[in-house]
Amino acid sequence: MRSKSLVYLILILSGVVVGTLVSSITAGIDFLKWLSFGISFGTNSPLSINLGVLAIDFGISINLTISCIICILIAFVVARKVL
Protein backbone atom coordinates (compact mmCIF):
# COMPACT_ATOMS: atom_id res chain seq x y z
CA MET A 1 0.00 0.00 0.00
CA ARG A 2 2.81 2.40 0.80
CA SER A 3 4.50 1.88 -2.57
CA LYS A 4 1.19 2.67 -4.34
CA SER A 5 0.97 5.95 -2.45
CA LEU A 6 4.53 6.80 -3.36
CA VAL A 7 3.96 6.06 -7.06
CA TYR A 8 0.73 8.07 -6.95
CA LEU A 9 2.54 11.03 -5.38
CA ILE A 10 5.37 10.85 -7.93
CA LEU A 11 2.88 10.83 -10.82
CA ILE A 12 1.01 13.84 -9.44
CA LEU A 13 4.23 15.78 -8.82
CA SER A 14 5.41 14.97 -12.33
CA GLY A 15 2.09 16.34 -13.61
CA VAL A 16 2.75 19.57 -11.76
CA VAL A 17 6.27 19.85 -13.17
CA VAL A 18 5.18 19.08 -16.75
CA GLY A 19 2.27 21.54 -16.43
CA THR A 20 4.60 24.28 -15.26
CA LEU A 21 7.00 23.52 -18.11
CA VAL A 22 4.19 23.62 -20.68
CA SER A 23 2.96 26.90 -19.19
CA SER A 24 6.36 28.55 -19.47
CA ILE A 25 6.91 27.26 -23.02
CA THR A 26 3.50 28.36 -24.33
CA ALA A 27 3.60 31.82 -22.74
CA GLY A 28 5.29 33.30 -25.81
CA ILE A 29 3.07 31.62 -28.44
CA ASP A 30 0.03 33.70 -29.36
CA PHE A 31 -2.53 30.96 -29.97
CA LEU A 32 -1.39 28.90 -26.94
CA LYS A 33 -1.05 31.81 -24.52
CA TRP A 34 -4.30 30.74 -22.79
CA LEU A 35 -2.46 27.71 -21.33
CA SER A 36 -0.26 30.01 -19.25
CA PHE A 37 -3.21 31.95 -17.80
CA GLY A 38 -3.58 31.43 -14.08
CA ILE A 39 -3.47 32.81 -10.59
CA SER A 40 -0.72 33.10 -8.02
CA PHE A 41 -1.41 33.18 -4.31
CA GLY A 42 0.52 32.87 -1.11
CA THR A 43 2.37 35.09 1.30
CA ASN A 44 3.69 38.38 -0.08
CA SER A 45 6.44 38.75 2.46
CA PRO A 46 7.83 35.73 4.27
CA LEU A 47 7.76 35.32 8.02
CA SER A 48 11.28 36.06 9.26
CA ILE A 49 12.77 34.82 12.51
CA ASN A 50 16.18 36.25 13.42
CA LEU A 51 17.84 34.55 16.38
CA GLY A 52 21.13 36.42 16.09
CA VAL A 53 23.17 33.43 14.97
CA LEU A 54 20.46 31.91 12.78
CA ALA A 55 17.93 33.62 10.53
CA ILE A 56 14.97 31.64 9.16
CA ASP A 57 12.43 32.76 6.54
CA PHE A 58 9.10 30.98 6.04
CA GLY A 59 6.91 31.62 3.01
CA ILE A 60 4.80 29.88 0.40
CA SER A 61 3.66 30.84 -3.06
CA ILE A 62 1.52 28.75 -5.42
CA ASN A 63 1.21 29.49 -9.12
CA LEU A 64 -1.74 27.62 -10.63
CA THR A 65 -2.17 27.73 -14.42
CA ILE A 66 -4.54 26.06 -16.85
CA SER A 67 -1.80 23.81 -18.26
CA CYS A 68 -0.86 22.77 -14.74
CA ILE A 69 -4.46 21.79 -13.98
CA ILE A 70 -4.73 19.83 -17.25
CA CYS A 71 -1.48 17.96 -16.57
CA ILE A 72 -2.54 17.16 -13.00
CA LEU A 73 -5.82 15.73 -14.31
CA ILE A 74 -3.91 13.64 -16.87
CA ALA A 75 -1.64 12.41 -14.06
CA PHE A 76 -4.72 11.41 -12.02
CA VAL A 77 -6.07 9.40 -14.98
CA VAL A 78 -2.72 7.72 -15.61
CA ALA A 79 -2.37 6.92 -11.91
CA ARG A 80 -5.83 5.34 -11.85
CA LYS A 81 -5.00 3.22 -14.92
CA VAL A 82 -1.57 2.18 -13.66
CA LEU A 83 -2.57 1.49 -10.06
pLDDT digits (tens, 9 = 90+) for 56-76: 999 998 889 999 999 999 999
**Proportion of the chain above pLDDT 70, given as a percent:** 99
Question: In the chain, where are the structural domains located?
Answer: 2-82
Is the per-residue pLDDT at 1 higher than 80?
A: no
According to DSSP, the β-strands at 38-42 and 55-58 are: unpaired
Count of helix runs (H) and strand runs (E) in the chain:
2, 4
> Does pTM top 0.85 for this prediction?
no
For residue 55, give every residue at least 6 positions away whose Cβ sits within 8 Å of its Cβ, in sequence order, or none.
48, 49
Give the residue-averaged pLDDT of 18-45: 91
Q: E strands along the chain, which residues? A: 38-42, 47-50, 55-58, 61-65
Nearest residue to 19 via CA among 67, 78, 79, 73:
67
